[in-house]
Amino acid sequence: TTPARPYRRVLLKLSGEVFGGGKVGLAPDVVRAIAEQIAAAVREGVQVAIVIGGGNFFRGAQLQEQGMDRTRADYMGMLGTVMNCLALQDFLEKAGIDTRVQTAITMGQVAEPYIPRRAIRHLEKGRVVIFGAGAGMPFFSTDTVSAQRALEIGADAVLMSKSGVDGVYDSDPRTNPGATKYDHVTYADALRDGLKVVDAAAFSLCAENGLPMVVFGMEGEGNVTRGLLGEHIGTLVHP
Ligand code: UDP
């Protein structure tokens, strides 16, 4: 086992799919369990910022296939992420953690606008900051936003949680049963092998700026807490 590398500040990406418990909508018990795992890490002193996806509500590309205008569908996708943010905020506060939601599309009744310097201040005070509405721009993904927010707030790493995969493999584990998981891999090697688990824009933002990324599965017991505390889980992708 690798000794824990303590992080000062981490950005955690949570997939919307997980929040839905595999269905459309919200699975409150799942959100509560995730909130409790995050709270445990926050109590140890790590500063946590979060980006949540919206795949449990809408994905712009899917709605486009069903005949919708892509940009309008993407805005619906972004609004879906905000509902996930409010759900996580609720369960984090029930677990005794102070939180702020900041959205890239302003909606003053439910959240602060995205103000990076204010987000950093919240983090320094021990509050969890949850970023909603993605980048506020169609044609982006929440993976890409995670990398961008992590860079802008000076996070030590971005933790990309996935559902159904527990790290980066040398080939697709869903089609190749012999695929092997990397413990560590450099950005250069991952690019050369054409490995994809996070989208290309997120990957290149992290690679170009030397930001370490941990790709891990939500399924493992206590994985979120362990990852936030710097224990080795999943795959570390590093410069
Ligand atoms: N989205 C967008 N711009 C962003 C972030 C998200 O247009 O900056 C939209 C896009 O339609 C996407 C949806 O919001 O499909 C939900 O986000 P994502 O698919 O990344 O969620 P996840 O797969 O992580 O649950």
- Of all atoms in ligand 1, which is nearest to the CA of residue 75? 7
pLDDT, residue 58, reads 96
Nearest atom in ligand 1 to 138's CA: 7
Q: What is the mean pLDDT of residues 88-104?
A: 98
Q: Give the CA-trace dihedral at 129, 130, 133, 135, to 10 degrees.
A: 50
Structure tokens given for 170: 């040398």
pLDDT at residue 192, rounded to an integer: 84
Distance from residue 141's CA to the centre of ligand 1 (Å): 4
pLDDT reported for residue 73: 98
Q: How far apart, in whole angstroms, are the C-alpha atoms of residue 234 and residue 26?
A: 26
pLDDT of residue 38: 98
Q: What is the domain class of 9-238 according to CATH?
A: alpha beta
Residues 6+ apart with CB under 8 A from 66: none
Arithmetic mean of pLDDT, 95-121: 98
- As a whole number of angstroms, the distance between CA 164 and CA 75 comes to 26
How far apart (Å, rounded) are the C-alpha atoms in residues 136 and 74?
9
Q: Which of 74, 131, 144 to mutate to test the pocket of ligand 1 (most atoms within 8 A of CB)?
A: 74
pLDDT digits (tens, 9 = 90+) for 160-219: 998 888 999 988 888 888 999 999 999 998 888 777 888 889 999 999 999 999 999 998
225 in a known ligand binding site:
no
Distance 3 CA to ligand 1 centre (A): 34
6-49 confidence digits (pLDDT tens): 899 999 999 999 999 989 999 999 999 999 999 999 999 999 99
- Verify whether ligand 1 is closer than 6 Å to residue 102 (CB atom): no
| pLDDT at residue 171, as a whole number | 85
pLDDT at position 1? 47
The answer, yes or no, to whether ipTM is higher than 0.90 is yes
pLDDT band at 5 (very low <50, low <70, confident <90, very high): low
Is 161 marked as a binding-site residue? no
Q: How confident is the model at residue 143 (pLDDT cuts 50, 70, 90)?
A: very high
The set of residues, in sequence order, having a beta carbon less than 8 Å from that of 141 and lying 6+ positions away, is: 53, 134, 199, 201, 202
Domain boundaries, the chain: 9-238
Closest CA to 75 of 64, 87, 66, 86: 64
Q: What is the pLDDT of residues 111-127, one digit of tens each?
A: 999 999 999 999 999 99
- Cβ–ligand 1 distance for 132 under 6 Å, the answer no
| 121 has binding-site annotation | no
- What number of other Cβ atoms are within 10 A of residue 130's Cβ? 29
